Amino acid sequence: MLLARTTAGTSTHGTLMELDAIAAVVIGGTLLSGGRGTIVGTVFGVLIFTTLTNVFTLNNLDTSTQAVAKGAIIVVAVLLQQRVAARNGSPP
């Protein structure tokens, strides 16, 4: 899909795309410790991170800053999910 957007292919295309995929799923509500997610939640996570990436690009932030911000969002989402899971009594 990235090749279709850029009309060029190199060995570095797709770098850090796995971070975006994991982030979208986590923001969508899937637990990293073995939870079940929904398609609607994942699409919601993709929309959030696409919007976030567009805002970063429009503000001319470099890719390393974007990666750090996305990583921080993943950490916060995982911590919130663990709190909710502990409050509901499910195992971590």
User: Tell me: the pLDDT tens digits for 16-47?
Assistant: 678 788 888 888 888 777 777 888 988 998 88
Instruction: Check residue 92 and give its pLDDT.
Output: 54
Instruction: Check residue 58 and give its pLDDT.
Output: 92
Instruction: Check residue 21 and give its pLDDT.
Output: 84
Whole-structure pTM value: 0.68
Range 35-74 burial, b when 16+ CB lie within 10 A, else e: eeeeeebbeebbeebeebbeebeeeeeeeeebeeebeebb
Instruction: Check residue 12 and give its pLDDT.
Output: 74
Average pLDDT value for residue range 52-78? 86
19 domain-assigned: no
Which domain covers residue 44, as residue numbers? 37-87
78 domain-assigned: yes
Q: How many domains does the chain have?
A: 1
* Gap between the Cα atoms of 67 and 73, Å rounded: 10
Residue 3: is its pLDDT beyond 80?
Answer: no
